[in-house]
Structure 1
Amino acid sequence: MPEDNSDAMPHVGPDWPTCAADVCIGRQIEGFERCLAHLGTDERDDVLRRFAPSDDVDLRGTTLTIGLLERLLTHMSEDPADPAALVRLGRADFRYCHFHDDDDASGTERPEDAAVDDGTGSVCARFKGVWFSGDAVFSGARFSGNAVFGHAQFSGDAWFDGVRFDGDARFDRARFDGVAGFHHARFDGDARFGDVQFDRYAVFDGAQFSGYAGFGGARFGLDAKFSGARFAGNAVFHSAQFNGYALFRRTRFGDLAGFGLARFSGYARFDGAEFGGDAEFVGARFMLGTAFDGAQFSGAAEFIDAHFSGDAKFADARFEVATKFGPLATRALDVDRASFAKLVIVEVEADRLSADDARFERGVELRVRRPEVSMRRTHFGGPSSVSGMPAPFKSPKGRSVAAVPEQLTAETAGSGSTVAVVASDDRRPVGLEAWVPRLLSVQETDVAQLTLADVDLRWCRFAGTHHLDELSLEGRSPFNRPPNWQAGWAWPPVWRWTTRRVLAEEHPWRAGRRKSGGWSKELPDLDGAAQVPPVGPERLAVLYRSLRKAFEDAKNEAGAGDFYYGEMEARRHAPSTSRAERALLTAYWLISGYGQRATRALAALVMLIGVLFVLLTQHGLPDSTALQQMTGTVPAAAAGQPQQITFETTPAPAILPPQDQLWTTDRMRKAIRIALGSVIFRDTDQKLTPAGVWTVMAGRAFGPLLLALAALAIRARVKR
């Protein structure tokens, strides 16, 4: 007698008339009290002759041996004499059936190949090439040996929920026109779904794969659901096509997860997935958003030449051994709160990159092209760098890895090699290459071990950054610039801001003051413009001071001078600065730009010489026509002695000439010579009025000071 299946599904509550045999839940054959497996030989033959192609089959709970199944399918064949003829079933209900490879109870001899399929093992169910024209229901069934469904066609829905495959499950090149349900199915052997076509939903939620799971070349017409599935062996989806959602949420991959060259046309969700081995997505294409949030990568994470047309999210992901991530191209890469245990090289071309709260325990080499980058509260456990890369990345095979135009915003898209980036006043374009990344924030980040090379820092926020004075800057890393000429309700009504490097935080502060023209209240953010609370002048002074030290350590005196200027500006406007100090700083700013603007000092020197010239001409030079007076006596000469005459000379009085003779050419020539000489401590023999003497003394006091400030400013701009 055939084996009972009572132990296969001990908890099944049949909702159909069951077999009269002891502990058998097989469905009664119409007209009999027993199931097909427990009928007598003649009765079974009569029942099998009832079946014809396209008939419905309802054998729920029945134990089916390979021999009995082969006889049933032979009667469903369009040409029973031709082994290659099409076998066609209508609605097939095999729920809770038990398929095994024992001999048929009728004693009928099995075909020679019934128990063995190509020498690969025992076969308990062979549906190869069978056409299920209606729904096929195998829910709760058990296949004790290999189950072969290769090239089968399911025109209706196919339900394999809770099925247990003790051997291999072979569905190669099968086609599912309806829903393919494998919810909580169990595959103890290999599961082969190579080149399978799923026209509608494919549901493998909670399925367990103990051996090899092959979905290479499979095509999923709608959603592919593998959430909560468990893959103990290799899971291969190489070249698979997902036209709907690909849901692998909380899926566990015990070994290799191979998605090389796979194409995801819908959203791909790997939230909370666990990759116990290598995760291989080489050459994969993600056409919409992709989420690996909370995923754990215990092996290598290979995304070489992967393209993400939407956002690639790896928030809260953990990379335990990965030392290389990319190169990949995406619209936006999100690694917020992600953790990298090893020193990792990240190569990405994108429009946006967010690494807020990310942890690089051994450091990172972040090589990027194009993106806006945010690194708030990022932890760098070792020497790290963020570098802009001028040339496109290359895959190991030499293929260029570059973002396509639809992955980029209008600002960076285009075929040209450069893009016009507008400065803070939106009037002064700066030629900046399109590949240069733009750093937006390192707030609350310890940058003591960070190096920035070829990174746009014009809108980077540094407020709250730790060890900012130890930040290293290399290559071309431009900062923002103030607006140019402005006009408004202030005095003077037209003014010009001096050209220098400014921090992004200075914009909101300046925008809140009277002369706010050209300054922005909002600062760029990854999600667009954001209005941030202004940073006060006291904090601005600290930021400028720290960056000045960083530039000085890098021997960039010109850059350090700009930040010194910003520091002094913040101090001059700070409420905590005393009036006396503010007055001193204001004078320092006016005459020399805090010792950083040689033109101001030279202009002040020219003005000083002009003032000296006017004062000397008007009040300092006495009348040159005044005559000296000589008085004396002529005593009588003694006999034989020469006569001696004694004179007393009285200098000409230092009086000014008449008003109409003050501005003569001779007087102006003398005045300019004396004024120039006074500022370089040259003495003249020219007689001066008392006012002229004081004028020359003032020139000797202020002239050398202005010359020194000019020399100091020139040295600050050229020293290296």
Structure 2
Amino acid sequence: MPHPSPEPPSTSPEWPHCGHGSTRDDPVGCRGIHVPGHTACLAHLADADRAAYLAGLTPGTDIDHRGTTFTQPLLDALLGALRDPATRRPRLGGAQFESATFESDARFELATFESTAQFRSATFEGNALFRSATFESDARFELATFQEQAWFIWATFKGTGRFGAATFHDHAWFDSATFKGTAWFGATTFKSTAWFESATFKSAAQFRLATFESAARFESATVESHAVFGSATFQSDAQFESAVFKADVQFESAVFERSVSVGPLVCAGEVKLSGAVFSGPATLSFAARRLGCRRTRWLSTAALRLRYATVDFAHAVFEYPLTIAAEAHPFALPDGRPVTEQALAGTPDATVRMASLRGVDAAHLVLADVDLSRCLFAGTVHLDQLRLEGICSFDEVPPGTHWRRWRLTRFTQRRTLAEEHHWRASQPTAVRGWNVAVFGAGHVGPAQLAPVYRALRKAFEDSKNEPGAADFYYGEMEMRRHDRTSTTRAERGLLHGYWMLSGYGLRASRALGWLAAAMLVTIVLLMGFGLPEDSPRQEATGTVPPGGGRVSFVIDKEEPRNPTGNRFTGKRFEKAVNVTLNSVVFRSSGQDLTTTGTYIEMTSRVTEPVLLGLAVLSIRSRVKR
């Protein structure tokens, strides 16, 4: 469909111009630059003078036809004069076509531009045909208007390819093109499909502020330096299947107005989506070392399928279900072929790691098979509604036994948060093994971490994972015990005792150890002071009347006597064990005891069942589902 030509500017150009056809409405007239030695442009030059000028051209000659209007025959005649007889291809030196107008097809196919090719503000009213053209130096198409299709298939840009603020009304074909210098498409408008399939960018690819009103197709494209799509607008599909970015690719503040499926693509650096807006459903498939999504807005459902990436999701905004899932195997293309990940060679594994969820409302967030060992959680909203699927790993406490000042310390293995590592490593009495190098952890202490642990505990409980919830309960209690701002001194004392006796009801071995110690002390005390020296004997006394009358008996027991001599015998040990074991389960042993022994048994019947209960509670918390 034809597009109206832009209105001619009202000001005179900076070069000496032809002025042909000037009127009251257009006093400037033709803007074409003078042909050397004449006062008219090539289009309005007399036929004989034009023929003489063209005959004087040789392949590789510099030409300057700024502002000139070219018909099809005129352009063919110009390129014919510059055609190399050996290759039959046009060969131009410096080519100045700034503000030129091509009224029909501009056929520069197979042409070679040996110096700067200047097409700034040019208008192509027909097809712009640069198929297999070679630009030995800079190619400048800034502000150019392509009203029909632009063909740059297999073109080679050895210098900078500048298309900034250009407008492509029809298809823009850059398939298999090679940009050895920077490719500038900043603020370019693609009103129809932009084809960059299998294109190679040896340097940076700049598409900042570009507008893609139709599909943007970068399948199998390769960018060996930075790719920038910052603040670009994608009004239709953004297709990057099998694209390879050997450095960072930026989509910061980009807008995706429709549902999109970006990737699978491979990025050896960072995929930057911070500040981007996804208005429709989105499926993103990235194999990248890092993924930045700070303050990214998701206005519909989204699924992020990732490999290798360390993800910064801080302050991202979404109100619909969003899933971040790790892919165990390389992505597959629609035809079944796996995506090549050669750009990520040397990366230890394909594990997906979360770096931060701070400032996120996690009510609709699902994490599947991701590593959370370095994730920052403080400041996350509705963390108790976070869903964890598959194997989501957390950090652990330092393994082994450590000396803390003068006493030996051993940490029981449990899931911990990166922020607890950072806080503990910063303490004066910290042992080796706590990770102080947690990027962005800031000044987060027990008061901030206790509610984080509490929320994660509830998330695990809601998913019926009681053993997993136990670790976060332990972490919550630890933070409360160390919190000197929100926890009173008396409460900290109770928590300290609870921790020592049973690890907050979660360490069965600790409770059983104290129980065994308490029972041993009870046994020793009973053997030493609680069991009488002899078993009490029964004595009968009565009065026998003369003549064999009625006999009455009075049964009495001697008071138990404290033992003397050797108190630690096998028989006394057996009795002490019997008394102790019966006292644990709130049963009376029925054994006669000394007064001291009675108090020992009473104490044992209070303390030892409590320790037994804590041990049972600890075991239950680890096996409950």
Q: What TM-score comes out, normalization by structure 2 length?
A: 0.90
Return the match for 1:341 from 279, 289, 296: 279
Q: Is the 8 A contact 1:365 1:386 kept in 2?
A: yes
Secondary structure of the corresponding residue to residue 715 of structure 1: helix
Letter in 2 for 1:127: L
1:414-459 Cα deviation digits (max 9, x unpaired): xxxxxxxxxxxxxxxxxxxx22200011100111011111011111
Deviation at 1:29, TM superposition (A): 8.6
Letter in 1 for 2:530: G
Secondary structure of the corresponding residue to residue 152 of structure 1: strand
Secondary structure of the corresponding residue to residue 439 of structure 1: strand
Q: Is the 8 A contact 1:66 1:99 kept in 2?
A: no
Q: Is the 8 A contact 2:16 2:34 kept in 1?
A: no
1:612-633 Cα deviation digits (max 9, x unpaired): 1111111111112x77484746
Tell me the residue number matched to 1:667: 572
Return the match for 2:442 from 523, 530, 533: 533
Q: In structure 1, how many angstroms separate the alpha carbons of the residues matched to 2:243 and 2:100?
A: 35
Tell me the residue number matched to 2:417: 503
Q: Is the 8 A contact 2:64 2:96 kept in 1?
A: no
Tell me the residue number matched to 2:288: 350
Q: Is the 8 A contact 1:200 1:222 kept in 2?
A: yes
Find out whether 1:618 has 2:528 as its counterpart. yes
Q: In structure 2, how many angstroms separate the alpha carbons of the residues matched to 1:267 and 1:201?
A: 14
Tell me the residue number matched to 2:26: none
Q: In structure 2, how many angstroms separate the alpha carbons of the residues matched to 1:454 and 1:590?
A: 35
Taking a change above 3 Å as real, the CA distance of residues 547 and 66 of structure 1, as seen in their structure-2 partners, is farther
Letter in 1 for 2:415: R
Taking a change above 3 Å as real, the CA distance of residues 192 and 26 of structure 1, as seen in their structure-2 partners, is closer
Kindly report which structure 2 residues correspond to 1:445-456, keeping only aligned pairs within 5 A, or say none: 445-456=360-371
Deviation at 1:391, TM superposition (A): 1.3
% identical equivalent positions: 36
Taking a change above 3 Å as real, the CA distance of residues 124 and 671 of structure 1, as seen in their structure-2 partners, is closer
Taking a change above 3 Å as real, the CA distance of residues 16 and 372 of structure 1, as seen in their structure-2 partners, is closer
Taking a change above 3 Å as real, the CA distance of residues 647 and 403 of structure 1, as seen in their structure-2 partners, is same
Kindly report which structure 2 residues correspond to 1:253-264, keeping only aligned pairs within 5 A, or say none: 253-264=190-201
Q: Is the 8 A contact 2:16 2:33 kept in 1?
A: no
Letter in 2 for 1:11: S
Taking a change above 3 Å as real, the CA distance of residues 697 and 18 of structure 1, as seen in their structure-2 partners, is closer
Q: In structure 2, how many angstroms separate the alpha carbons of the residues matched to 1:395 and 1:351?
A: 20
Tell me the residue number matched to 2:257: 320
Q: Is the 8 A contact 1:490 1:514 kept in 2?
A: no
1:623-653 Cα deviation digits (max 9, x unpaired): 12x7748474665623xxx266666555344
Secondary structure of the corresponding residue to residue 209 of structure 2: coil
Tell me the residue number matched to 2:557: 651
Tell me the residue number matched to 1:146: none
Deviation at 1:485, TM superposition (A): 3.3
Q: In structure 2, how many angstroms separate the alpha carbons of the residues matched to 1:208 and 1:510?
A: 62
Return the match for 2:597 from 683, 692, 711: 692
Letter in 1 for 2:293: A
1:464-522 Cα deviation digits (max 9, x unpaired): 11111111111000111111235345352x20112111111112221232431222233
Tell me the residue number matched to 2:44: 63
Letter in 1 for 2:413: T
Return the match for 1:131 from 79, 82, 103: 82
- Runs of 4+ displaced beyond 6 Å: 7-10, 16-19, 22-26, 65-68
Q: In structure 2, how many angstroms separate the alpha carbons of the residues matched to 1:17 and 1:383?
A: 64
Kindly report which structure 2 residues correspond to 1:116-195, keeping only aligned pairs within 5 A, or say none: 125-131=76-82, 151-154=89-92, 156-195=93-132
Deviation at 1:127, TM superposition (A): 3.2
Taking a change above 3 Å as real, the CA distance of residues 676 and 466 of structure 1, as seen in their structure-2 partners, is same
Deviation at 1:168, TM superposition (A): 1.5
Q: In structure 1, how many angstroms separate the alpha carbons of the residues matched to 2:549 and 2:304?
A: 105
Return the match for 2:498 from 588, 595, 605: 588
Q: In structure 2, how many angstroms separate the alpha carbons of the residues matched to 1:541 and 1:648?
A: 68
Kindly report which structure 2 residues correspond to 1:6-45, keeping only aligned pairs within 5 A, or say none: 11-12=12-13
Q: In structure 2, how many angstroms separate the alpha carbons of the residues matched to 1:277 and 1:244?
A: 26
Tell me the residue number matched to 2:243: 306
Tell me the residue number matched to 2:511: 601
Secondary structure of the corresponding residue to residue 495 of structure 1: strand
Kindly report which structure 2 residues correspond to 1:336-415, keeping only aligned pairs within 5 A, or say none: 336-404=274-342, 406-407=343-344, 412-413=347-348
Taking a change above 3 Å as real, the CA distance of residues 312 and 150 of structure 1, as seen in their structure-2 partners, is farther
Q: What TM-score comes out, normalization by structure 1 length?
A: 0.78
Q: Is the 8 A contact 2:42 2:50 kept in 1?
A: no
Return the match for 1:291 from 206, 220, 228: 228
Q: In structure 1, how many angstroms separate the alpha carbons of the residues matched to 2:477 and 2:581?
A: 32
Q: Is the 8 A contact 1:70 1:126 kept in 2?
A: no
| CA RMSD in angstroms, aligned pairs only | 3.0
Kindly report which structure 2 residues correspond to 1:40-119, keeping only aligned pairs within 5 A, or say none: 63-64=44-45, 69=50, 73=54, 75=55, 88=59, 90-95=61-66, 97=68, 99=70
Return the match for 2:157 from 220, 237, 243: 220
Q: In structure 1, how many angstroms separate the alpha carbons of the residues matched to 2:77 and 2:18?
A: 27
Taking a change above 3 Å as real, the CA distance of residues 90 and 380 of structure 1, as seen in their structure-2 partners, is closer
Secondary structure of the corresponding residue to residue 499 of structure 1: coil
Q: In structure 1, how many angstroms separate the alpha carbons of the residues matched to 2:600 and 2:229?
A: 79
Tell me the residue number matched to 2:451: 542
Deviation at 1:698, TM superposition (A): 1.8
Secondary structure of the corresponding residue to residue 496 of structure 2: helix
Q: Is the 8 A contact 1:333 1:350 kept in 2?
A: yes
Secondary structure of the corresponding residue to residue 393 of structure 1: coil
1:678-711 Cα deviation digits (max 9, x unpaired): 1123333321111111111222222222222222
Q: Is the 8 A contact 2:98 2:119 kept in 1?
A: yes
Taking a change above 3 Å as real, the CA distance of residues 635 and 93 of structure 1, as seen in their structure-2 partners, is closer
Return the match for 2:170 from 221, 229, 233: 233
Taking a change above 3 Å as real, the CA distance of residues 673 and 205 of structure 1, as seen in their structure-2 partners, is same
Give the structure with higher Rg (CA).
1
Return the match for 1:439 from 354, 365, 386: 354
Deviation at 1:12, TM superposition (A): 5.0
Q: In structure 2, how many angstroms separate the alpha carbons of the residues matched to 1:29 and 1:599?
A: 99
Kindly report which structure 2 residues correspond to 1:637-648, keeping only aligned pairs within 5 A, or say none: 637-638=546-547, 642=548
Q: How many correspondences in the alignment?
A: 606
Letter in 2 for 1:718: V
Taking a change above 3 Å as real, the CA distance of residues 672 and 169 of structure 1, as seen in their structure-2 partners, is same
Deviation at 1:385, TM superposition (A): 0.6
Q: In structure 2, how many angstroms separate the alpha carbons of the residues matched to 1:498 and 1:483?
A: 9
Q: In structure 2, how many angstroms separate the alpha carbons of the residues matched to 1:291 and 1:701?
A: 72
Q: In structure 1, how many angstroms separate the alpha carbons of the residues matched to 2:323 and 2:18?
A: 73
Q: In structure 1, how many angstroms separate the alpha carbons of the residues matched to 2:491 and 2:249?
A: 53
Secondary structure of the corresponding residue to residue 126 of structure 1: helix
Return the match for 1:470 from 385, 400, 406: 385
Kindly report which structure 2 residues correspond to 1:514-593, keeping only aligned pairs within 5 A, or say none: 514-517=428-431, 518-523=433-438, 530=439, 532-575=441-484, 576-593=486-503
